[in-house]
Amino acid sequence: MIPDSTDKLARLNAKLEEYETKLRGRMKGYRGVIHESAMSEMRHQEVMVLKAMVADIKKEIAALEATQ
């Protein structure tokens, strides 16, 4: 293992845990978008962004592990 990739992998795993924790917190009580409610749409956008960030980090971790 290359030290740089090991460090990067450790940082990515820490970020993944952080964003998964945030996502779990936002999902409590989440019922989807209640139309004509700006607050509901903002919460939905936040959940979607967190889901995308988690997916991207997982993809990057998988790519790093595949190259090792």
What was the pLDDT predicted at 53? 98
| Residues 6 or more apart in contact with residue 40 via CB below 8 angstroms | 33, 34
Domain that holds residue 61: 3-67
Which among 49, 55, 63 is positioned nearest to 16, based on CA atoms? 55
Give pTM, 2 decimals.
0.85
- Total tally of structural domains belonging to the chain: 1
Q: What is the pLDDT of residues 10-46, one digit of tens each?
A: 999 999 999 999 999 999 988 888 888 898 999 999 9
DSSP secondary structure letters along 28-47: TT-----TT-HHHHHHHHHH
What was the pLDDT predicted at 67? 87
